[in-house]
Amino acid sequence: MKMTKFKLMLYTMVIILMTNILTVRYQLSDYVESNPNGKDMLNLMELKNVVEDEFYTDIDEEELIVGMKKGLFQGLNDPYSEFYTKEEMNELKEQTTGELIGIGVIVGIKDDNIVVISPIKDSPAMRVGLKAGDIISKVNGKEYKANELSDAVKEIKVPLSEKKSSLLGKVDYGKVKIEVLREGKEREFEIQREEISLQTVEYKQLENKIGYIAISQFADGTAKDFVKELETSKKNDDRALIIDLRNNPGGLLNEVQDVADSIMGEATIVYTQDRNGKKQYIKSRDGGELNIPLVVLINEGSASASEVLSGAVRDNEIGTLVGEKTFGKALVQTVRQLSDGSGFKLTVQQYFTPRGENINHKGIVPDVEVKLDENQLLKNQVDTQLQKAIEIIQTKLNQK
């Protein structure tokens, strides 16, 4: 009798198990039939199982999963979309804090190359002579392609988590060797890594009461600092203003909006458009008009968020753009963190200037083109682009 009960229980368990297996198979079959990519998903699972079962050494399953996630974004062929591990996500957040350990260079992708967007002012990269537009071919002797931008950046910088105490003297974070291509010629730089604290806004009063505000990056707090310096300019009775966006690689769109609020009055700053054609207009608030002559300095190192502000100034005719054509990045990314601390950056929109111009890969051409005479700058400390901006403002002031 006991044996019979045991067999009955065993048969019941087997039937339940077989039913569950059949249910899963039918559900999977339904998914494959209803989803055009269902077979590809099954193939992916099969490939994963084969790799785990047959690869000649032990598999780190966590690394395998990370590789699959990264591969998903690499399949987009978009250098600005990427999956980040928890550690990489923390490093990404560091980029907007205004503090870093490295050589002080902002890099990006242009024409399938890793290029210098701009060296940071007074950084090791600027001191040794790295320039906007330099194509980075090797870092520490290793070649890096456009889709390996994050790996190249990791090799160049040091995570803030590895910051050391400087109580006993200057900390040595080591040197990095950068090989670049400039105007068809190869150049090599050996650059010392340092702790770099970014002061993104700088004000001074020029001759004839012309205010000058340089914005090196749109990081957290940039707009607040800009408004503070703008108030200083007003207290100094500045008769005109020059905003210097040269070598500004961009940053946070909300910071650009707050800066625009303080100089433009009510106007369209930029509008974005997703793949379905849905447009979103970003406008500045009323009450922030400057009502004095304005010149904005730009160059090849002015990218992304700085191009948004430049385009808004030009299209709303509130100032004059002086310098050289900008970088040409008009794509909008969203950054999201997942529950496990990992995350991703995904290009979700493209942006257009208020008049509807898409400047991606094209850049913004200034109203008055002036090349920077580097010999004059080095020998005589004469900034030819800034001099032209002052000349234009003087003409406007004389017309009043």
Mean pLDDT of the chain, nearest integer: 87
Q: Is the pLDDT of residue 11 over 80?
A: no
Distance CA 382, CA 400 (A): 28
Q: Is the pLDDT of residue 62 over 60?
A: yes
DSSP calls for 368-385: EE----HHHHHHH---HH
- Number of alpha carbons in the 13 Å side-chain half-sphere of residue 362: 12
pLDDT in tens, 341-388: 999 999 999 999 999 999 999 999 999 999 988 777 767 788 999 999
The fold adopted by the segment(s) 101-163+172-197 is: Pdz3 Domain (2.30.42)
Q: Is the pLDDT of residue 24 over 80?
A: no
Q: Is the pLDDT of residue 54 over 50?
A: yes
Distance CA 163, CA 170 (A): 12
DSSP calls for 38-107: HHHHHHHHHHHHHHHHH-SS---HHHHHHHHHHHHHHTTT-TT-EEE-HHHHHHHHHTTTTEEEES-EEE
310 near 326, Cβ under 8 Å?
A: yes
Place of tokens 């942006």: 351
Distance CA 149, CA 113 (A): 9
- 2-34 and 38-54 are packed helices; what angle lies between their axes, rounded to 10 degrees? 120
Q: Which residue ranges make up each domain of the chain?
A: 101-163+172-197, 201-398
Report the pLDDT value the prediction gives residue 96, as an integer from 0 to 100: 63
**Other CB atoms within 10 A of residue 11 CB:** 10
Distance CA 357, CA 369 (A): 19
Instruction: At 113, list the tokens.
Output: 């190359």
Tell me the whole-structure pTM to 2 decimals: 0.76
Rg over alpha carbons for the chain, rounded to the nearest Å, is: 27
Overall CATH class of domain 201-398:
alpha beta
Instruction: At 203, list the tokens.
Output: 């004000």
pLDDT in tens, 129-160: 999 899 999 999 999 988 888 889 989 998 87
In the chain, pLDDT over 70 holds for what percent of residues? 88
Q: Which residues are catalytic?
A: 304, 315, 329
Q: Which residues contact 84 (CB under 8 A, 6 or more apart)?
A: 92, 342, 343, 344, 345
Per-residue confidence band for 92, with pLDDT thresholds at 50, 70 and 90: confident
What amino acid occupies position 147?
A: N
